[in-house]
Amino acid sequence: MLKTGVLISGRGSNLQSLIAACATPGFPAEIACVISNKADAGGLDHARKANIPAHVIPNRDYPTREAFESALDAKLEEHNVQLVCLAGFMRILTPWFVNRWRDRLINIHPSLLPAFPGLDTHQKAIDYGAKLAGCTVHFVRAEMDHGPIIMQAAVPVLNGDDEQTLAARVLQAEHKAYPQALRLIAENRVNVFEERTFITDATASGEALFNPEA
């Protein structure tokens, strides 16, 4: 069982998808702890209801980013965490923390990276006229929203979509992709070589997704 720590800042919908997956018989990972930098994060309730140790480490209580991250690191080590999942953790991590957890730190981003890094991804996709949007699970690197891609899921951008409707469609894909990526890692099927991932015994449909269809 891969001991996983989840860092959150908000409602924790992706955390809930990970909790549900880990509760499935035979799933190869378990959530050892959940840590939030905000005491009012809704995701903390998800953890407590699932009897997962939940901790609040407010970043504002520390004089520097490094001091805050040292506290995060100590709590993760206390729970013998082997992999860290960022699930709506609204802090940019320093190179020290990223390098300490290199290839053991993953994130889910609501776009098909490298398209639309940063914030407001759904509005950017709409404004650009993109026909496909989606999400990306990737290993974290010091540069924001960069790192070897583990898994992506695409959804159509529909006529009449606004930021909220597109975000809801992407979020459904996130809730499937993040647990699947965690499973692949926990089963030792993900290898990183020259900043690319290679997945053992992975399958793909080989079909193109068209939007719109003529």
Give dist(CA 136, CA 150) in Å, integer: 8
Structure confidence at residue 209 (pLDDT) = 85
CATH number at residue 117: 3.40.50.170
CA distances from 168 to 86, 174, 206 (A): 19, 10, 26
Residues 76 and 133 in one domain: no
> What are the per-10-residue average pLDDT scores of the chain (214 residues)?
97 97 98 98 97 97 97 98 97 97 98 97 98 98 96 96 97 97 98 96 85 85
Residues 79 and 131 in one domain: no
Of the candidates 46, 79, 109, 175, the residue annotated as catalytic is 109
Q: Is residue 113 part of a domain?
A: yes
Residues 93 and 131 in one domain: no
Structure confidence at residue 203 (pLDDT) = 87
Q: Is residue 210 part of a domain?
A: no
Please say which residue of 83, 101, 119 terminates a domain. Answer: 101
Q: Is residue 182 part of a domain?
A: yes
Chain-centroid distance, C-alpha 103: 13
Please say which residue of 76, 101, 126 terminates a domain. Answer: 101
Give dist(CA 6, CA 36) in Å, integer: 9
Q: Is residue 60 part of a domain?
A: yes
CB atoms under 10 Å from CB of 6, counted, come to 29
For 61-79, letters b (16+ CB in 10 Å) and e give ebeeeeebbebbbebbeeb
Phi, psi torsion values for 10, nearest 5 degrees: -135, -140
Residues 1 and 96 in one domain: yes
Q: Is residue 181 part of a domain?
A: yes
109 among known catalytic residues: yes
Q: Which of 102, 6, 19 is nearest to 54 (CA)?
A: 6
This prediction's pTM: 0.95
3-state secondary structure of 136: strand
Please say which residue of 85, 101, 117 terminates a domain. Answer: 101
Q: Is residue 164 part of a domain?
A: yes
Contact 19, 52 (CB under 8 A): yes
pLDDT digits (tens, 9 = 90+) for 48-99: 999 999 999 999 999 999 999 999 999 999 999 999 999 999 999 999 999 9
Residues 94 and 37 in one domain: yes
Is the bond preceding residue 148 a cis peptide, omega within 30 degrees? no
Structure confidence at residue 204 (pLDDT) = 84
Token duo for residue 202: 């992975």
Q: For the chain, how big is the Rg over CA atoms in Å?
A: 17
Residues 131 and 74 in one domain: no
Q: Is residue 208 part of a domain?
A: no
Q: Is residue 87 part of a domain?
A: yes
Contact 105, 86 (CB under 8 A): yes
Structure confidence at residue 80 (pLDDT) = 98
Give dist(CA 174, CA 112) in Å, integer: 11
CB atoms under 10 Å from CB of 57, counted, come to 18
- Domain span including residue 57: 1-101
Residues 67 and 151 in one domain: no
When divided into structural domains, the chain yields a total of 2
Residues 92 and 112 in one domain: no
Residues 147 and 88 in one domain: no
